[in-house]
Structure 1
Amino acid sequence: MDEKYIKRRKIRKFQITLASIIFVFITCYCWVITDYHITEIQLSKFGVHEDVKHWFNISMVLISHLMLRNISSFLEENGRIKRGRLWKQVFTMCLFGLAIVGIVPMDPGSIDIHDIAAWSYFFMFPLTILLMAYTERKNIQHSEFLHHVITAAIMAILPAFVFDLFQGAAIPEIIHSLVVLYWNTYIFIKYK
């Protein structure tokens, strides 16, 4: 292996680890500081709380950037994915939605750009994984195809089931985010 490849792998490993740590730490930190009931809010409420809004919003933008870099590297380094440039653009649009969540604060009274960006991210990300797996199914291994499809299904369906159990959307959002981070870790580990 050449030195550039090893360096890129170390950077990707750092980015995935950092994104995971930031998500878990910031979520716990905001929960403790704000004293919100996690089952009754959506995570974006942290983004408008005076004590933690800057931490939460910056973390959303940073996490979206780190995930995009990991996914872009995965698409560039994986020779089996033939339409990598197209998928890179679609994932960029998805993760831009997550970045907008951090840039535009939530307006609790109405539907706004923040809500549209959040919902588009939550629906588009698993859909993009599913469409990528489906259109690239002849080029990738069957086990990879199944893993992408199952992960995308879990990412979309499990939060939907949990959504009815709580008043707020925070628990489904956390589940979705953890599955997204898992998928990012998987594409890093699987494609060496």
Structure 2
Amino acid sequence: MSSDGSAYFGEPPLSSGDVTIMKGLFGSTKPPKRVPVPPGEPKTAAPGLVVGLSFAIVIVVFITGARLLTRIFRKGQVFGWDDWIVIPGVGIALAYFANLLVRTQTGCAGKHMNDCTYKELGVFTTIVNNIFLGILILFFFITLFINIFQCSPVTAFFNYAIKVDSPTYHCLDTGKISNAFSIINCALIDLRSATDTRKT
């Protein structure tokens, strides 16, 4: 038994909390098979994970900051809709990286699966699912906004008389919008599949 009173991965549950977590993660109260550990594998990958995440945070902040500062201070550059979308996207990415950094110190990130307790797995999965849900909600509102305001004036999207009578109307390329949404949908499906612990 671990210090948090929860059983390790692959062992029978020790509490009602373990049972609940096992049902949620694996769809069963039957202990999952323990993962074989190759000889010589380090006890934890947390140090490497910390270095990699720190490098990723620096790169994301540097590139995004350079882009936004260029838009602000370079003559002739203006903020576009893509710049406004980048800001919350980067915020979500940084929050996810920060969460992983915290979990390397207080949770299961970087540990071998067999060294994680059901409680640690449950907390980590809950955080990942909440982040995923937040991304979905953000994507929904971005999609809704673009669909409503893709034409100027807005009524030009469904009122063909405006397109005939007003040569000054402007609409975004619906083909590019559709392709972008399709790519994001596929990425979200792949992300959800990759974080689905029930396949373990």
Q: TM-score normalised by the shorter chain: which range applies?
A: 0.3 to 0.5
TM-score, length-scaled by structure 1: 0.41
Larger helix fraction of residues: 1
TM-score, length-scaled by structure 2: 0.40
Whichever of the two has the greater Rg, that structure is 2
